Amino acid sequence: MTGSRPHGLPDVPADPRSCVTIRCREHGPLVVELPADDSVRLRVTDHVGQEFLLPTQKRAVALCRCGHTASQPFCDGSHTRCEFSGAELAPRPPQ
């Protein structure tokens, strides 16, 4: 089952457990979460396609938004020291 998306975006699976989810953490990194099954593999590449080694074998990885991490593009917690501010909210669909 799929749901209709606004703004001409394609339908997405109704079950979020089968999706890759990217969460914007308040005043923190982007957290990329993979589905629980092994159907999806994560690759992070630079602008020329060279692959970064992932810092963990877990089903989630945190990507830096503050620009102060020593391990770009991955988060190392530097956002707490530099007082990074980022609390974006997704737009609410019209009622």
Query: What does the pLDDT look like over 19-74, one tens digit per residue?
Result: 899 999 999 999 999 988 877 888 999 999 999 998 878 889 999 999 999 999 99
Residue 2 inside a domain? The answer is: no
CA-CA-CA-CA torsion for 60, 62, 63, 66, nearest 10 degrees?
160
Confidence (pLDDT) at 93: 84
Asked whether residue 9 is domain-assigned, the answer is: no
What per-residue confidence (pLDDT) applies to 8? 61
Which residues on adjacent β-strands are paired with residue 3?
A: 12
Does 73 sit behind a cis peptide bond, omega within 30 degrees of 0 on the bond before it? yes
CATH code where residue 64 lies: 3.40.5.90
CB 73 within 8 A of CB 52: yes
Full domain range(s) for residue 64: 18-88
- Closest alpha carbon to 27 in 58, 52, 64, 57: 64
Whole-model pTM?
Answer: 0.77
Domain count, the chain: 1
CA 40 to chain centre: 14
pLDDT for residue 4 is more than 70: no
Q: What is the pLDDT of residue 13?
A: 58
